[in-house]
Amino acid sequence: MSSRTDDWLDANCASFDKKVNKMKKLILSAFVVASASVATAGSVVFTAPEVMAIEEPARMGGSGAWLIPLIIAAVILLAVTNQPATTTETLPN
Length of the chain counted residue by residue: 93
The pLDDT mean for the chain works out to: 75
pLDDT band of residue 22 (cuts 50, 70, 90) is confident
**Which pLDDT score is estimated for 41?**
66
For residue 58, give the amino acid letter: A
Helix ranges, the chain (H)? 3-41, 67-81
Question: What are 25-55's pLDDT values in tens digits?
Answer: 888 888 888 887 766 666 667 777 888 888 7
